[in-house]
Amino acid sequence: MDNKPLITIAFDGFSSSGKSTMAKSLAKRIGYAYIDTGAMYRAVTLYCIEHNLFDGQKLDTEELKRQMPDIRITFQVEKDGKSVTCLNGRNVEKEIRMMPVSSKVSIVAAVPFVRHALVRQQQEMGKNKGIVMDGRDIGTVVFPDAEMKVYVNASPETRARRRYDELKAKGDTTTTYEDVYKNVCERDYIDSHREETPLRKADDAIELDNSDMTIEEQDKWLMGLYERTISNLKRQ
């Protein structure tokens, strides 16, 4: 790496806004670590499902609180260089992206003690900078002092179409586009109306609506913003 200062880069936005793709691609180009914080909330949700902590859509928060110290979430880099999410040492990357987890994750992500535990872990992961983190509260709560903050948006239809195509590519043959669209709208509502740190744009975040942008256009836009952020820092 050259002598550019290391910074913290925060990506926030609604589900399936394409922020993970953008964040991952930027991290790779500039040699930064990438952390998908949504995957952490998803892994806790999978744990709750597997340990029967859900009765329908009702979560036994008391029991989850008791079991929280037993939940260990880590990221492991595979031979092909891809990072996968592990729940107590088991690769759960595929399961956490499926509908049973997607349909319950907003409930788990609204629980204050879950958020506090995961935020602490995220702050620890990013304490040395040189990190790109994506989520809902990165620029507002996890790293309010991040030097570069991006708030990504796209229409619910565009986002549902992306998630639907992803599910099909992963072999899901039962979920319909309408199911995905409904799930996207429900999660938007819960994520932006929950009491505990709802999704909102940080005042100093740069907003990007990528509904009509290609991946290449997004990458170019991001690199431009990164370069400008670095040169502003060097000037200070």
Residues that bind ligand DC (CB under 6 A): 15, 37-38, 41-42, 105-106, 109, 135-137, 187, 191
Supply the DSSP string of 109-136, one letter for each residue.
Answer: HT-HHHHHHHHHHHHHHTTTS-EEEEES
| Structural tokens at position 176 | 């319909």
Least spacing, CB of residue 121 vs ligand DC, in Å: 11
Q: Which is nearer to ligand DC, 105 or 208 (CB)?
A: 105
Q: Which of 147, 143, 146, 151 is nearest to 124 (CA)?
A: 143
Site of tokens 């880099």 = 77
Q: Which is nearer to ligand DC, 63 or 166 (CB)?
A: 166
By beta-carbon proximity to ligand DC, the closer residue of 163 and 222 is 163
Minimum distance, C-beta of residue 231 to ligand DC, in the bound complex (Å): 29
Q: Cβ closer to ligand DC: 215 or 236?
A: 215
Give the nearest distance from C-beta 31 to ligand DC in angstroms. Answer: 23
**What are the distances in angstroms from CA 139 to CA 3, 115, 132, 185, 210?**
25, 15, 11, 23, 19
Segment holding 235, helix H or strand E: helix 215-235
Q: What is the DSSP letter of 4?
A: P
Residue closer to ligand DC by CB (options 16, 229) is: 16
Is 145 in contact with 227 (CB distance < 8 Å)? no
Q: How far is the CB of 227 from ligand DC (least distance, A)?
A: 26
Closest distance to ligand DC from the beta carbon of 17 (Å): 8
* Rg of the chain taking only CA atoms, in angstroms: 18
Look at strands 206-209 and 148-153 and give their pairing.
parallel
Please tell me the distance from the alpha carbon of residue 75 to that of residue 52, in angstroms, as a whole number: 24
Closest to ligand DC by CB, 15 or 158: 15
Shortest distance, CB of residue 102 to ligand DC, whole angstroms?
A: 7
